[in-house]
């Protein structure tokens, strides 16, 4: 869904990017932008000196994060936290 939303934004802006690198690591993508390799779509919670963030208009991009743990790990702390989040 994130890739589709990003594609819609680029289409709306009439941008056809020339992909010079791919990564699944947000920090690595930001480092490439900072080094002048190009631009990318990243959450605006990221910050880096010399990198300008521009909020796109159009679809709202969201992320869903998951957490996995071993049941009973950390004295059951994660089990109790998960129970409160349900």
Please check the confidence at residue 83 and state whether its pLDDT lies above 70: yes
Name the nearest CA neighbour of 41 among 50, 53, 51: 53
**Mean pLDDT, the chain, whole residue set:** 82
- What's residue 84's pLDDT? 87
SS3 track for 9-21: HHHHCCCCCCCCC
How far apart are the C-alpha atoms of 86 and 66, rounded to whole Å? 14
DSSP string computed for 42-71: --TT---TT----PPSSSPP---------T
Please check the confidence at residue 76 and state whether its pLDDT lies above 70: yes
Name the nearest CA neighbour of 62 among 11, 6, 13: 6
Please check the confidence at residue 62 and state whether its pLDDT lies above 80: no
- What's residue 74's pLDDT? 85
- What's residue 7's pLDDT? 82
pTM for the whole thing? 0.52
């Amino acid at each position: 869904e994130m890739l589709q939303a990003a594609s819609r934004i680029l289409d709306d802006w009439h941008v056809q990017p020339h992909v010079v690198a791919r990564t699944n690591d947000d920090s690595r993508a930001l480092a490439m932008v900072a080094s002048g390799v190009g631009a990318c779509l990243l959450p605006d919670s990221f910050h880096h000196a010399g990198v300008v963030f521009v909020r796109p208009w159009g679809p709202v991009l969201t992320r869903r994060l998951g957490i996995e743990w071993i049941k009973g790990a950390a004295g059951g702390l994660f089990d109790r936290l998960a129970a409160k989040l349900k």
